Amino acid sequence: MTCFDLRDKIVWLTGASSGIGEALTRELVKRGAKVAITARRAEALEVLRAQVAGSGDSVRCFAGDVEDLSQMKKIVDSIESTFGEIDLAIPNAGTHIFTVPESFNSEEYLGLMRVNFGGMLHCIEAVLPRMLARGRGYIAPVASLAGYRGLPRAAAYGASKAAMIHFLESIRFHLKPKGITISIVNPGFVKTPLTDKNDFKMPFLVDASRAARIICRGIKRQKREIAFPFPFSWVLKVARILPAPVYERIVNKCW
Ligand SMILES: NC(=O)c1ccc[n+]([C@@H]2O[C@H](COP(=O)([O-])OP(=O)(O)OC[C@H]3O[C@@H](n4cnc5c(N)ncnc54)[C@H](OP(=O)(O)O)[C@@H]3O)[C@@H](O)[C@H]2O)c1
């Protein structure tokens, strides 16, 4: 397998204003990449840019909302005309809500879908035609181990991440022969503002900078799936193939 050297690569990263995206920005720059960062909060992006790049040119801010396809297209246009051709896109923007069917509200589910799944689709739609025209490109969206199988209170979040995984596994068949690499990033629990809201003890919690190092190592190796942390990812991989009654008994006991 050939190695994807991040040095001097142009990376477009969404969800960079906090958590995993913020840590990834720092790690990517450390590895020599030039990073175009996107999120809705322009000021937070600018603070990060100043911290990481100072007066240098390794980070540039392109604020926008991933729910808006036209904004994503404009952002890709301006990255490519002012910074350079995008070698690697990391659609990472996402959010989380706990859901219970007792207070079922389809709009809540669809709202989460629009950010997590729809946001990723918009980023891919904005960047893919250019990558296809060049016959090369790399897309590494951040999904989640929560997309493997149904978990309590995660019906909306898990469904959005399962949709991402399924979609990416499917398009890989078409895109690989056209020179486009797809890595699916599936983290377990990472300490970020998103998980700081969780009201339960998170098993195998890792900090965001460690997550960023693992993701960059996986990208360097162009892994099909970057699932971590081990052994949590393997526990959930095995759980995927358990018969439903056994899976339910275990989850009811542990979760
Ligand atoms: N933390 C975990 O344990 C964990 C585990 C598995 C997967 N993930 C996934 O990792 C990704 C990053 O999560 P995180 O934990 O780092 O959360 P976070 O700290 O809350 O960061 C989420 C990022 O997404 C951005 N964002 C949210 N909605 C957006 C929108 N509509 N348009 C543009 N940007 C938007 C936020 O920026 P603005 O508010 O400035 O827009 C922020 O930069 C998410 O996709 C999440 O599902 C996280």
In angstroms, the CA 103 to CA 109 distance is: 11
Mean pLDDT of the chain: 97
Distance 20 CA to ligand 1 centre (A): 7
Residue 142: the pLDDT is 98
Residue 1: the pLDDT is 66
- Average pLDDT for 118-145: 98
For the chain, list the domains and their CATH numbers: 10-254 (3.40.50.720)
In angstroms, the CA 50 to CA 46 distance is: 6
- What do you get for the CA distance between the two ends of the chain, in Å? 38
Q: Is the pLDDT of residue 2 over 90?
A: no
Cα distances (angstroms) measured from residue 150 to each of 83, 161, 225, 226, 240 = 41, 11, 20, 20, 10
**Tens of pLDDT, residues 150-177:** 999 999 999 999 999 999 999 999 999 9
- Average pLDDT for 98-123: 95
Distance 104 CA to ligand 1 centre (A): 24
- Average pLDDT for 54-69: 96
- Note if the bond before 91 is cis, omega within 30 degrees: no
In angstroms, the CA 135 to CA 225 distance is: 22
Closest ligand 1 atom, CA of 65? 32
Tell me, yes or no, if the pTM score tops 0.85. yes
Closest ligand 1 atom, CA of 14? 34
- Average pLDDT for 213-225: 98
Q: Ligand 1 pocket by C-beta < 6 Å: which residues?
A: 14-21, 39-41, 44, 65-67, 92-96, 115, 119, 142, 144, 187, 189-190, 192-195
- Average pLDDT for 216-242: 97
Q: In what order do the strands lie in the sheet with 180-182?
A: 59-61, 34-38, 10-14, 88-90, 137-139, 180-182
Q: Is the pLDDT of residue 255 over 80?
A: no
Distance 83 CA to ligand 1 centre (A): 24
- Average pLDDT for 207-235: 97
